């Protein structure tokens, strides 16, 4: 099983700040990597697929990069609606999710 490890577990950020979330795979997943945003009581929302392609309707402030085992999700200027938990997911070998990074208000 491909283990996905996200860091940090919690990130305290002020609105307007640049935010970088990390995701590491236990073995190469090529660019078969997605990022999701999850808010309480809501379904996950696809942000990024193919490691760097924004999903339909996702604002340009969200960007993804990486390949192989190291990936990042960058939010260029954090907005109030961006406070949430973010999950990475690999789909190169079956499907596994990371444990999530909670982005909270500083």
Partner 1 sequence: ELQLLESGGGLVQPGGSLRLSCTASGFTLTTYGMSWVRQTPGEGLEWVSGLSVRGEYTYYADSVQGRFTISGDKSKNTLFLQMNSLRAEDTAIYYCAKDAGYTSGLGSFDVWGQGTMVTVSS
63 vs 96, which CB is nearer to partner 1? 96
* Residue 60, strand partner residues: none
Q: State the residues that interact with partner 1 by CB under 8 A.
A: 32, 34, 36, 38, 42-46, 49-50, 55-56, 87, 89, 91, 94-100
Question: Minimum distance between the CB of residue 79 and partner 1, rounded to whole angstroms?
Answer: 22
Distance between CA 75 and CA 92 in Å, rounded? 25
Question: Minimum distance between the CB of residue 12 and partner 1, rounded to whole angstroms?
Answer: 20
Going by C-alpha positions, the residue among 30, 37, 36 that lies closest to residue 66 is 30
């Amino acid at each position: 099983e491909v283990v996905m490890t996200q860091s940090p577990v919690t990130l305290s950020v002020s609105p307007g700040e640049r935010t970088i979330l990390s995701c590491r795979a236990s073995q190469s997943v090529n660019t078969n990597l997605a990022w999701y945003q999850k808010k309480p009581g809501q379904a996950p929302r696809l942000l990024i697929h193919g490691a760097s392609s924004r999903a339909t309707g996702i604002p340009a402030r969200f960007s993804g990069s990486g390949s192989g085992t190291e990936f990042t999700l960058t939010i260029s200027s954090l907005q109030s609606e961006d406070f949430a938990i973010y999950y990475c997911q690999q789909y190169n070998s079956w499907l596994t999710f990371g444990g999530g990074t909670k982005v909270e208000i500083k």
